[in-house]
Amino acid sequence: MKNTYRQEYHLMPETGFLNDPNGLCYYNGEYHIFHQYAPQGLSAQRGWGHYTTKDFVNYNNYGMVIYPDSVWDKNGSYSGSALIDDGEMELFYTGNVKQPGNHDYTLSGREQNLIYMSSKDGVNFSEKELLMTNDDYPENCSCHVRDPKVWKEGENLYKMILGARTRDDRGEALVYKSSDKKHWTLDKVYTKPQLGYMWECPDFFELEGKTFLCCCPQGVEPKGIECQNIYQSGYMIVEGDELSEFVEFDRGFDFYAPQTFLAPDGRRIIIGWFGLPDVPYKNPTEETENWIHCLTIPRTLEFKDNKIWQEPIAELEKLRTDEISLSLEPGKINILPKVQCEAFINFKDKTDSFDISIRKDINISLKDGVFTLKIGDSGKGRTERSCKVDKTDSVRIFSDTSSIEIFVNGEVFSSRIYEEKDNSEDFTVVLNSSSQGCDLAYYILRPFEITKIS
């Protein structure tokens, strides 16, 4: 582990705090990735940072572009989305205001303002416009109503979904409609028993003829190996007024507040915050390197095998440089040159059992239909996560300085890891056991090229 936790191919803050991806879209020949950002750190008010890219390898970094500088968002330009329409980029987000006084900020004292901005070039933004305030939300809502995701549904029909907490602590998604993007009326409310007291960062989209409602519920009880993190992020299929079973997007320790968007070629891509709020452990980058969190790699969504199936976006193959191919012999310690890598493990036939160690203290295994990730000391107290997985013919691991993202049968385990710094740079793989012979295709991944635009 070299002498820093800074990542090489994940978007992260130069300094301070990063959380949710915002305003993801493709506009004027480029992808736009905004994100929640507080360069002065967690206690500062958040605004939006902004990256653009044509290829997910070379990026422009515009730094902070939306500041919490108006009366409507003075305690944070919170999360929101982008709509590309009539040749413009239109942004919708929540302005957070905390009123002075003795408040619990749930039932009183918090304003959640719907704010609109537009851009004709994707980098210069109009004045802020206030579209909605707490008075416009349903009466049974608490002060927590936020994170608008807006989309176009037909000629002159626009929809917006907001996450909400009711006054009696139920998570809800409010769907609004509009014909002019400025005046919104409530169209539908979705909720689900036992799915928490608050739904953050909702999303709504179609995939292979099915409609999906996504959200990040807070207050869900863990069920066996499911829903183990403090807060969840997942999806349900919309069946009329009903929502199907909630399914988690990620099975690792660090994934929250994702947003999806459509690429021009029709792919639906998801990017998540590679972190969670209110976690019971300290992230060592904050104390020693003055930055915290990053975004996940982008991944494509498909509906396959009756679930949302995720794969890393193909563009990441452009990060590959040197390749080493070898067959994994049981018990042999394979030391590969760099920890910033992709390790693609292929089994000869589909396997229902294996046990593999990687890096310093990570173990992945498949046994009795359950895939398990175990992390030792580098998990900083986070030890084990599992998920049901059928027989599989491959495991694909993206390893960066302080993270791993493991893809198996369309499931993903995203976890930050903090190995002791000792100036070593290698990536170790040991096949402990397997029901099938297997090969490793190992690629060193080169860092993102990031140009700072001031």
Residues that bind ligand FRU in the complex, under the rule CB under 6 A: 19-20, 36, 46, 76, 78-79, 94, 146-147, 200-201, 256-257, 277
CA distances from 27 to 53, 87, 166, 314, 429 (A): 10, 8, 36, 20, 41
DSSP 307: E
**Shortest separation between residue 237's beta carbon and ligand FRU, angstroms:** 23
> How many degrees, rounded to 5, is the angle at CA 72 between CA 68 and CA 76?
35
Q: Which two tokens stand for residue 227?
A: 């829903």
In angstroms, give the least distance from the CB of 340 to ligand FRU.
Answer: 27
Token digits of residue 242:
């009903």
Catalytic residue among 20, 73, 147, 250: 20
User: H or E stretch including 224?
Assistant: none
Active site residue 20: yes
Q: What DSSP string runs through 329-387? A: -TT-EEEES-SSEEEEEEEEEEES-EEEEETTTEEEEEETTEEEEEE-GGGTT--EEEE
User: Of 177, 192, 201, nearest to 242 (Cα)?
Assistant: 192
Query: For the chain, how many helices (H) and strands (E)?
Result: 1, 35
210: nearest Cα among 233, 237, 184: 237
Residues in CB range of 316: below 8 A, 6 or more apart: 9, 56, 297, 298, 342, 398, 445
| Burial group, residue 230, by CB count within 10 angstroms (0-12, 13-18, 19+) | middle
Minimum CB distance to ligand FRU smaller for 12 or for 319: 12
Least distance (Å) between residue 80 CB and ligand FRU: 8
Complex with ligand FRU: residue 20 or 411, whichever CB lies closer = 20
Nearer to ligand FRU, 16 or 410 (CB): 16
**Could you give the CA distance from residue 239 to residue 244 in angstroms, rounded to a whole number?**
7
Rounded to a whole number of angstroms, the minimum distance from the CB of residue 380 to ligand FRU is 20
Shortest Å distance, C-beta 244 to ligand FRU: 23
DSSP 3-state assignment of 315?
Answer: helix
Name the residue with tokens 């730094």.
63
Please answer whether residues 156 and 169 qualify as being in contact, where contact means their C-beta atoms are separated by less than 8 angstroms: no
Q: Are strands 141-154 and 157-166 parallel, antiparallel or unpaired?
A: antiparallel
Shortest distance, position 256 Cβ to ligand FRU, whole Å: 6
Considering beta carbons, is residue 90 or 147 the nearer one to ligand FRU?
Answer: 147
Q: Which is nearer to ligand FRU, 256 or 448 (CB)?
A: 256
Shortest approach of ligand FRU to residue 273 CB, angstroms? Answer: 6
- Catalytically active residues are 20
